[in-house]
Structure 1
Amino acid sequence: MLLIKSFILGLSVSAPVGPIGLLCIQRIISRGKAAGFMTGLGASSANLFYASIAAFGFSIVSSFLIEQEFVLRIVGAIFLFYLEIKIFLKRPAKSASNLEGDGMVSMFLSTFLLMITNPVNILNFVAMFAGLGFDHSSTSIGSTLSLIIGVFLGAVSWWLILSSVVSLFRKKITNHLGLVNKMAGLMIVVLGIMSFIK
């Protein structure tokens, strides 16, 4: 039961379209379904990291990361801005390319690094886990692992669904890739700034 609840939680946490969601969509359109999924996998892995800290109650690690929140958000904002300037200025390819080799690792790592610069996610997971009735101090390791795995699987499932749906329209949108790049670049920067201010 806990696994199902945490799966739904992971799905719902990932579903709102923010800077990472738009980045994922842009990469699907320009690089293919694999690029979108690896982008989402990077985001899911960052959520897995923070969910683990929240679930196992690593208060020392949690406190340190939250104390460094401002610095990490600055780093994340700069990195996001850099990525989206590249997207905005990128010339559309004559044909959509598929992601291979090191490109997959790059897609994964860039999104993981963006997500990991927001340590306040630890507090979000603590609050959400409490809402599920979870208490790390009185819960077995097996239940804790079920909670974390459920969140991860739910998040991964969302990114797989998004990648699959967007890729269905990829060929139609590819002809307007230049405009898509500019719109995506601007929107992601705006959402990133709003997120940072918040």
Structure 2
Amino acid sequence: MSVKFKAISGSSQKTLQKSKSVVLAENQSFRTDNIARYFLFKLCICYAVRDFLFKTLMYLCTMLLKFWLEGIIIGVLASAPLGPIGILVIQRTLNHGRTTGFYSGLGAALSDTVYAAFAGFGMALIIGVIQQHELWVKLAGAVILVLLGIFIFFSHPERQSVKKLKKKGNPLKHMAGTFAVGISNPHIMLLHVAMFSGFGIVLSHKNLGEAFFVLLGVTMGCLLWWFGLTWIIDLFRSRFSLKILLWFNRIAGIAIILFVVVYMVKTMMQ
């Protein structure tokens, strides 16, 4: 009996050990599966987040690029019409060189950017104030333009060397002059309002990123136009004699004064 009992107890112990090893193996397998599932889940989450961030970034870049390009187009279209500022930039480029002409265009670009900001943000209060005092603003601009026209008419062209340009150049003076001419013309703001409406652009303080890229595009578009214009004029500058430049100054001065007269007559009739 004792031998049989020992045999039975030995076999039961072996069975118990086998069952324990099976349970341990199953637990280890379960843990391994859980770890694998955890890392797989984490990997899926990482890929999903990365895909979401990539698509969001691409969307934002596409939208910002769109606003930037539309701003450039608006800037070029706003600067292209040949008005008093265009004549002034051409005259300064022919008489004093490309650098002076470009700085004059830079002042016009800054005034365009200011009016573009007013138009884009829909600043009703500022627009209303300008419209209420529109006549006085136009009169101030007319006085500035007439004085510029007279100054250009009587100015004598001088071919300055590079050294003279570096010593006597005053970019702030040229920038301030064209900025004053541009900012004293409220119709530029109405032009920007029409263009912003045409492109369906409405700037908002809630989306300052979009507003920044639109206004940056407007400034770059204006500068692109004035850079190209002064570069082309400067290419042919050497072919003009002093006599031709003198006559161009007189024609440009008369053209600016006539522009002011016609502009003010239309304003009074309205």
* Shorter-chain TM-score above 0.5: yes
| Pairwise CA distance, 1:127 | 2.1
Partner of 2:90: 25
Higher helix share: 2
Residue 234 (structure 2) aligned to one of 155, 167, 175: 167
CA distance in 2, matches of 1:18, 1:122: 15
2:173 maps to amino acid: S
Q: Which runs of 5+ in 1 are unaligned?
A: none
CA distance in 1, matches of 2:77, 2:257: 23
Residue 90 (structure 1) aligned to one of 138, 155, 163: 155
Deviates more, 1:120-129 or 1:65-74: 120-129
Provide closer, same or farther for how the CA distance between residues 197 and 139 of structure 1 changes in structure 2, counting only shifts above 3 A. farther
Residue 59 (structure 1) aligned to one of 82, 104, 124: 124
Residue 112 (structure 2) aligned to one of 39, 42, 47: 47
2:79 counterpart of 1:14: yes
How many equivalent pairs are there?
197
Provide closer, same or farther for how the CA distance between residues 69 and 167 of structure 1 changes in structure 2, counting only shifts above 3 A. same
Partner of 2:47: none
CA distance in 1, matches of 2:71, 2:90: 25
CA distance in 1, matches of 2:83, 2:183: 15
Partner of 1:192: 260
Conserved? CA contact 1:10–1:153, under 8 Å: yes
Residue 81 (structure 1) aligned to one of 141, 146, 150: 146
CA distance in 2, matches of 1:42, 1:99: 19
Q: Give the share of equivalent positions with the same residue, in percent.
A: 32
With normalisation by structure 1, the TM-score equals 0.91
CA RMSD of aligned residues (A): 1.9
With normalisation by structure 2, the TM-score equals 0.68
Higher relative contact order (CA 8 A, sep 6+): 1
Conserved? CA contact 1:50–1:125, under 8 Å: yes
CA distance in 2, matches of 1:53, 1:99: 36
CA distance in 1, matches of 2:210, 2:167: 37
Partner of 1:142: 209
2:185 counterpart of 1:115: no
Report runs of 4+ in structure 1 exceeding 6 Å deviation. Answer: none
CA distance in 2, matches of 1:138, 1:131: 21
Partner of 1:35: 100
| Pairwise CA distance, 1:2 | 1.8
Higher Rg: 2
Q: Which runs of 5+ in 2 are unaligned?
A: 1-65
